[in-house]
């Protein structure tokens, strides 16, 4: 006669109190083997396949998919072969009423000789026994002999229910699995540990846990995986000691796992801040420390500016021998520089510096225009002297000369100092916008992004135009936002309609 055992949701560890049923892996009436996963649940931390410690026929399932199940609630019931008496002991194995000793039945010897192992797996789940008490591997102290195993398996109960008898019959569907099972039970509590080992191909029977009485913990499996990863290309040996055992008299916090040998980390490279890079580092740090800067920006339609530049280029190509109109091609940077000098004439507050010792704002009568140039030696800012007195051709020629000197490293100190305003064309790096850092002790810097085709509303209709982003970073001590906004708006107007410059030329 078969007995029905109830399998409850075990304690999945890590302080979890329940789980959600995601998917049932077995149906009612299906034969399950020992430790076969029967349900997939989701906890607050992971998806877990829960194995059943009994082998037999599923007679009932409790809970629908998506339902919340607390720890200790029944999941399934399993009918297993092997009758049991009221004490939960196998039939034919009775206790004497006089002295409590066991009286063997008529065929007790044959039963003990031929009885297979019970259906229990020995893989204990927290709060649950299996049909056979697991034989824990104990550490043998010096001078003490190892405890001998009992002559016959002792019957146990699972939450008050009778466990499968040691002399009971094993269903035919489970005999092949039971015949190949090893005698040693695997001391594992959490299904998470078994699942982690199964997914990574680890044999838990080759491991010795670091928990109480040899219990295999999650840390043991993770340590074994890390150790196995460091043995790639070499013969692997079973990892049986993830960290030293903790004696009963030693606190768990005193056991330290040996760190896995890791390859030496490469040392950091130190680059001295000297020369041009050191000077720029000092100036930029001082700028951020002393100047209360602010930034405003605007998008502008640069289509007409690019057409004006192309018209100047064609005019010069058509008259190469003319000493007045012939000459180098006009650069976009030169046109923007000419626009800046015109804007600074209208808003001189931005062509100034601050003397904190005298607590004065110093306005400069001339525009010495610096421009950022990236070189192999680092960022440099050559200065075009008296830029307000130069036209587009003169500015183009001076930009070309100073850029070449910066690349060859032949700039003089006079060509790198004395600037009153800086133009930064970071669009050459393929970026649209930035928040420039003011070149101390100046009071402002204009940044120019790349000029790219974008959708733009032009004369009431959507069109593809050449659009650029302009950014102005300014020292808030020399002017307010209205002045900075007026300067940037004038520059944007000149970019969109170069004819505006004719009023001031």
Catalytic residue annotation: 476
Cα angle at 36 between 33 and 39, to 5 degrees? 130
Rg of the chain over Cα atoms, rounded to whole angstroms, equals: 43
Are the CB atoms for 216 and 186 separated by under 8 Å?
yes
Helix axes 218-229, 191-199, angle to 10 degrees: 20
Q: Which of 382, 474, 469 is nearest to 427 (CA)?
A: 469
Q: Which helix (H) or strand (E) holds 355?
A: strand 352-355
Distances, alpha carbon 383 to alpha carbons 277, 372, 373, 422, 445, in Å: 17, 9, 11, 8, 13
Helix axes 392-408, 332-346, angle to 10 degrees: 120
Rounded Cα distance between 53 and 61, Å, is 15
Tell the residue number behind the tokens 């490279």, with chain if given.
Answer: 269
Burial of 483 (0-12, 13-18, 19+ CB in 10 A): middle
Rounded Cα distance between 148 and 135, Å, is 11
Helix axes 303-318, 481-496, angle to 10 degrees: 50
Tell the residue number behind the tokens 């196995």, with chain if given.
Answer: 228
Q: Which of 154, 167, 156 is nearest to 109 (CA)?
A: 167
Three-class DSSP category at 458 = strand
Rounded Cα distance between 68 and 43, Å, is 10
Are the CB atoms for 129 and 158 separated by under 8 Å?
yes
Rounded Cα distance between 207 and 203, Å, is 7
In this structure, how many other beta carbons lie within 10 angstroms of the beta carbon of residue 429? 10
Q: Which of 341, 435, 332, 326 is nearest to 384 (CA)?
A: 341
Which two three-digit tokens encode residue 401?
């000369």
Rounded Cα distance between 489 and 496, Å, is 10
Rounded Cα distance between 483 and 473, Å, is 12
Are the CB atoms for 472 and 448 separated by under 8 Å?
no
DSSP E strands, 25-155: 31-32, 36-42, 47-52, 56-61, 68-70, 74-80, 93-95, 102-104
């Amino acid at each position: 006669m078969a007995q029905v055992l109830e399998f409850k949701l075990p304690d999945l560890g890590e302080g979890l109190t329940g789980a959600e049923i995601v998917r049932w892996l077995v149906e009612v009436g299906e034969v399950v083997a020992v430790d076969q996963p029967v349900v997939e649940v989701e906890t607050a931390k992971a998806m877990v396949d829960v194995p059943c410690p009994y082998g037999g026929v599923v007679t009932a399932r409790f809970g629908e998919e998506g339902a919340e199940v607390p720890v200790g609630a029944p999941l399934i019931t399993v009918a297993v072969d092997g009758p049991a008496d009221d004490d939960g002991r196998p039939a034919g194995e009775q206790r004497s009423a006089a002295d409590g000793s066991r009286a063997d039945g008529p065929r007790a010897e044959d039963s003990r000789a031929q009885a297979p192992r019970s259906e229990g797996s020995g893989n204990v789940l927290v709060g649950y026994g299996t049909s056979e008490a697991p034989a824990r591997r104990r550490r043998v102290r010096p001078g003490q002999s190892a405890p001998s195993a009992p002559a016959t398996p002792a019957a146990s109960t699972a939450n008050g229910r009778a466990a499968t008898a040691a002399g009971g019959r094993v269903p035919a569907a489970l005999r092949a699995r039971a015949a190949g099972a090893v005698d040693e039970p695997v001391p594992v509590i959490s299904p998470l540990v078994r699942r982690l080992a199964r997914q990574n191909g680890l044999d838990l029977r080759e491991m010795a846990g670091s928990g109480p009485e040899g219990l295999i913990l999650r840390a043991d499996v993770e340590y074994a995986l890390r150790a196995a990863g460091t043995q790639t290309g070499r013969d692997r040996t079973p990892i049986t000691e993830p960290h030293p055992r903790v004696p009963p008299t030693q606190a768990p916090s005193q056991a330290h796992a040996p760190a896995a040998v890791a390859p030496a980390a490469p040392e950091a490279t130190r680059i001295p801040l000297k020369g041009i890079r050191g000077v720029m580092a000092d100036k930029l740090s001082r700028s951020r420390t002393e100047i209360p800067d602010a930034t405003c920006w605007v998008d502008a339609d640069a289509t007409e500016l690019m057409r004006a530049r192309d018209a100047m280029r064609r005019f010069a190509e058509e008259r190469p021998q003319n000493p007045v109109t012939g000459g180098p091609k006009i650069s976009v940077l030169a046109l923007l520089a000419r626009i800046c000098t015109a804007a600074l004439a209208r808003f001189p507050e931005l062509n100034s510096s601050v003397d904190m010792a005298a607590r004065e704002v110093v306005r400069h009568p001339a525009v010495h225009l610096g421009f950022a140039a990236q070189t192999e030696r680092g960022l440099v800012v050559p200065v075009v002297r008296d830029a307000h007195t130069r036209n587009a051709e003169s500015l183009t020629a001076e930009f070309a000369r100073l850029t070449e000197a910066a690349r060859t490293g032949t700039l003089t100190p006079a060509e790198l100092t004395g600037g009153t305003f800086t133009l930064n064309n970071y669009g050459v790096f393929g970026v649209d916008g930035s928040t420039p850092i003011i070149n101390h002790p100046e009071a402002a810097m204009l940044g120019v992004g790349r000029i790219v085709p974008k959708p733009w509303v032009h004369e009431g209709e959507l069109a593809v135009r050449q659009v650029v982003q302009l950014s102005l970073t300014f020292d808030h001590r020399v002017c307010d936002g209205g002045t900075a906004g007026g300067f940037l708006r004038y520059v944007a107007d000149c970019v969109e309609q170069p004819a505006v410059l004719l009023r001031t030329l």
